[in-house]
């Protein structure tokens, strides 16, 4: 696929044709009730932190078990990664199976596949049994290569892994959509759906069965006593419980698990478009770089194409609007564009070995459980995590527990290579951020424009809102002291070290930080 090489023209076109502000298609097409903020000390059996797919599913399953469950969310429910997904329900997680065979074993690679299939079957059964109106459609998933480059070579190895593991994938050399390829792996029997319509049903069932939900209640730490106590930020009360389940992207507490050094954050971008030509079905992701993802969705009898990709490490790309612009060009060349009603981005975490971390936070905290590092495949992995964490909270064995144990032994060479690369990046950002000698001035900012400026001799984050008001913040991240960068496309301050994000006023959008940026 060839793109216009004139970057300025591409960017100007994007600014005029893209939605002014990011907003998820899923959020825009789902109405939720509001829930109160916690205002007093609580005592419960199980406290679930994070109202995304893992937290909501686990809370629902545990209340079905007759447990007293409180679900706590630092923002609004489903306003995190789950609300900004591409929502593919599939066991085809990119080029994963050759990787697993190379770094683990065939038995473990096969177990990974079976876990994803179990989660998919669980979701489908819930939809069928309860008649959930969530646009659930069976689809064939494809991972494809456009060129005979490294992506194609990796794809051939992935197909070999499918054959060796007995997975039901098929090699094909054409796709139902108008995209010329060198080859693809087709995996039938996968699905797409509307994730928030599905999870809204679970959320309301959780309430009906006696569960309790609190929004806008930020948990700053967990006291690890015999019965853990969750501390509510800036308040003198908390939640005492028997078991904590963290489904909050970054774990709600670290407890010397050093997750900030083990998890790598990446942002990616998505458009919901209405096309001039119909989408012929299937779900697609490229093996080549840059990554592209495609699937369709239906709402109010209209077809939308969900176009995603262009991932990069959080806080390390300046001109983020260009990622939307390039997705627009990719989709337009394939289908023609009628309009682009929605654009949004999301943040995902990767572990050092590409496996999720599901289970006890550390070997010393058996009653603090965590699900994280889903590596962009949160629909099946997040659901499987909820099933596993429910079993663990109920004292039951689960056959996936050893594979996904956060305390598992990562293959040594892979662990060392990835950890060194990750933490060298952190060290570099700590130093170079402090040595940023740009001399932008706050008074030069136009309405709806932000930048790092120098104000009274100090590095300062500045944003002038559409009404002309200037908002100034200290650019030092409150997590570990890295310097945040301005994300123009999202109007946010993003940390390049561990992925913390803040809105233009300095309020926390994404962990691991829990404290806002200081005002200037």
For residues 456 and 462, the model is more confident at: 462
Strands 283-286 and 137-145: parallel
Q: Which residues lie below 8 Å from residue 114, measured CB to CB, with a gap of 6+?
A: none
> In the prediction, which pLDDT does 61 show?
98
Which tops the pLDDT comparison, 440 or 290?
A: 290
What pLDDT, in 10s, does the model give residues 118-142?
A: 999 999 999 999 999 999 999 999 9
The per-residue pLDDT for 272 is 98
Check residue 83 and give its pLDDT. 97
Query: Given a cut of 60, is residue 9 above it in pLDDT?
Result: no
Pair 103, 151: CB distance under 8 Å: no
Strands 42-43 and 302-313: unpaired
> What pLDDT, on a 0 to 100 scale, did the predictor assign at position 10?
58
Q: What is the pLDDT of residues 393-406, one digit of tens each?
A: 999 999 999 999 99
Using 50, 70 and 90 to split pLDDT, how confident is the model at 3?
A: very low
pLDDT for the residue 247: 97
* Average pLDDT of the segment spanning 351-369: 96
The pLDDT confidence band at residue 100, using thresholds 50, 70 and 90, is very high
Rounded to an integer, the average pLDDT of 315-342 is 91
The answer to whether the CB of 491 falls within 8 A of the CB of 450 is yes
Q: What is the pLDDT, as a whole number, of residue 146?
A: 95
Contact between 60 and 205 under an 8 Å Cβ cutoff? The reply is: yes
Give the pLDDT confidence score for residue 77 in this predicted structure.
97
For residue 293, what are the β-bridge partners?
Answer: 285, 308
CB 219 within 8 A of CB 232: yes
Q: Is 315 left (phi over 0), alpha (psi -120 to 50) or beta?
A: left
Task: Please give the Cα distance from 389 to 360 (Å, whole number).
Answer: 9
The pLDDT tens digits of the residues spanning 474-519 come to 999 999 899 999 998 889 999 999 889 999 999 999 888 889 999 9
Which of the four pLDDT bands, split at 50, 70 and 90, describes residue 353?
very high
Buried b (16+ CB within 10 A) or exposed e, 290-317: ebbbbbbbebeeeebbbbbbbbebbbeb
d(CA 161, CA 3) in angstroms, rounded, equals 33
Average pLDDT, the chain: 91
SS3 content of the chain, % helix, strand, coil (to 5): 30, 30, 40
DSSP strand pairing (264-275 vs 283-286): unpaired
Q: What is the model's pLDDT at position 97?
A: 98
| pLDDT at 413 exceeding the cut of 50 | no
Is residue 383 scored above 70 in pLDDT? yes
2-11, 53-62, 348-357: least confidently modelled range: 2-11
Query: What average pLDDT score do residues 181-195 get?
Result: 98
What are the DSSP calls for 485-513, one per residue?
A: EEETTTTEEE-TTT--EEETTS-EEESS-
Q: Lay out the sheet containing 46-49: strands in order across.
A: 212-214, 69-72, 46-49, 243-246, 368-372, 357-360
Q: Quick check: 144 pLDDT over 80?
A: yes
**Rounded distance, CA 349 to CA 319, Å?**
22
Task: State the Cα–Cα distance between residues 55 and 389, nearest whole angstrom.
Answer: 10
Which tokens in the block code for residue 259?
């997750």
| 415: pLDDT strictly greater than 90 | no
Q: What is the pLDDT, as a whole number, of residue 156? A: 98
CA dihedral in degrees (73, 76, 81, 86; nearest 10)? 140
End-to-end C-alpha distance for the chain, whole angstroms: 46
Q: Which residue has the higher pLDDT, 102 or 430?
A: 102
pLDDT at 206: 98
How distant is the alpha carbon of residue 9 from its chain centre? Answer: 31
Please report, rounded to a whole number, the percentage of residues in the chain having pLDDT higher than 70: 91
- Which pLDDT score, from 0 to 100, does residue 11 have? 57
**pLDDT attached to residue 414:** 52
Taking only the tens place, the pLDDT of each residue in 207-229 is 999 999 999 999 999 999 899 99
pLDDT at 19: 93
Decide if pLDDT at 440 tops 50: yes
- Angle at CA of residue 427, ends 424 and 430, nearest 5°: 150
Q: Confirm if 150 and 206 have CB atoms less than 8 A apart.
A: no
pLDDT at 498: 86
Residue 295's contacts (CB-CB under 8 Å, 6 or more residues apart) are 86, 87, 88, 139, 192, 282, 283, 284, 305, 306
pLDDT of 417 > 60? The answer is no
List the one residue out of 442, 477, 476 whose CA is nearest residue 456. 442
462 touches 479 (CB < 8 A):
no
Its pTM surpasses 0.85: yes
| Assigned token pair, 479 | 């997590």
Residue that wins the pLDDT comparison between 511 and 371: 371
SS3 at position 391 = helix
- Given a contact cutoff of 8 angstroms between Cβ atoms, the answer to whether 466 and 300 are in contact is no
pLDDT of residue 7 exceeding 60, the answer is: no
- Say whether pLDDT at 330 is over 50: yes
230-239, 245-254, 389-398, 431-440: the lowest-pLDDT one:
431-440
Contact of 262 with 320, CB cutoff 8 Å:
no
Per-residue pLDDT band for 149 (boundaries 50, 70, 90) equals confident
Q: Supply φ then ψ for residue 423, to 5 degrees.
A: -80, -20
């Amino acid at each position: 696929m060839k793109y216009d090489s004139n970057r300025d023209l591409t960017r100007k076109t994007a600014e005029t044709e893209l939605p002014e502000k990011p907003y998820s298609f899923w959020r825009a097409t789902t109405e939720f009730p509001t829930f109160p903020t916690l205002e007093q000390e609580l005592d419960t059996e199980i406290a679930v932190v994070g109202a995304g797919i893992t937290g909501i599913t686990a809370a629902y399953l545990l209340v079905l078990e007759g447990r007293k469950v409180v679900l706590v969310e630092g923002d609004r429910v489903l306003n995190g990664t789950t609300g900004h997904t591409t929502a593919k329900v599939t066991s085809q997680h990119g080029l994963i199976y050759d990787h697993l065979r190379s770094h683990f074993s065939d038995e473990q690679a096969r177990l990974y596949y079976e876990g994803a299939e179990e989660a998919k079957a669980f979701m489908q059964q819930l939809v069928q049994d309860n008649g959930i109106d969530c646009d659930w459609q069976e689809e064939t998933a494809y991972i494809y290569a456009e060129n005979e480059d490294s992506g194609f070579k990796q794809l051939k190895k992935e197909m070999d892994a499918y054959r060796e593991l007995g997975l039901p994938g098929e090699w094909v050399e054409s796709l139902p959509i108008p995209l010329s390829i060198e080859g693809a792996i087709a995996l039938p029997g996968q699905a797409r759906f509307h994730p928030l319509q599905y999870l809204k049903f679970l959320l309301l069932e959780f309430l009906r069965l006696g569960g309790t939900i609190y929004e806008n209640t930020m948990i700053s730490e967990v006291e690890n006593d015999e019965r853990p106590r969750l501390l509510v930020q800036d308040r003198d009360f908390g939640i005492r419980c028997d078991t904590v389940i963290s489904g909050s992207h970054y774990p709600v507490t670290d407890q010397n698990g050093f997750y900030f050094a083990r998890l790598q954050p990446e942002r990616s971008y998505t458009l919901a478009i209405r096309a001039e030509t119909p989408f012929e079905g299937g779900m697609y992701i490229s093996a080549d770089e840059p990554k592209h993802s495609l699937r369709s969705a239906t709402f109010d009898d209209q077809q939308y194409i969900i176009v995603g990709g262009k991932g990069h490490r959080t806080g390390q790309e300046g001109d983020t609007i260009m990622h939307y612009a390039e997705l627009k060009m990719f989709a337009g060349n394939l289908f023609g564009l009628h309009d682009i009603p929605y654009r949004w981005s999301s943040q995902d975490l990767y572990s050092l070995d590409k496996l999720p971390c599901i289970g006890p936070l550390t070997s010393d905290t058996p009653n603090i459980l965590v699900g994280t590092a889903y590596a962009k495949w949160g629909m099946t992995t997040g659901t499987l995590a909820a099933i596993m964490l429910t079993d663990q909270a109920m004292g039951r064995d689960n056959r996936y527990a050893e594979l996904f144990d956060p305390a598992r032994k990562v293959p040594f060479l892979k662990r060392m290579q990835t950890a060194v690369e990750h933490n060298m990046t952190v060290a570099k950002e700590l130093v170079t951020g402090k040595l940023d000698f740009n001399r932008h001035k706050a008074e030069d900012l136009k309405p709806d424009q932000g930048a790092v400026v120098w104000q009274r001799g100090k590095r300062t984050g500045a944003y002038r809102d559409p009404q002309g008001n200037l908002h100034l913040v200290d650019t030092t991240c409150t997590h570990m002291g890295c310097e945040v960068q301005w994300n123009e496309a999202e109007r946010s301050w993003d940390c390049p070290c561990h992925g913390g994000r803040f809105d233009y006023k300095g309020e926390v959008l994404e962990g691991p930080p829990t404290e806002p940026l200081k005002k200037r």
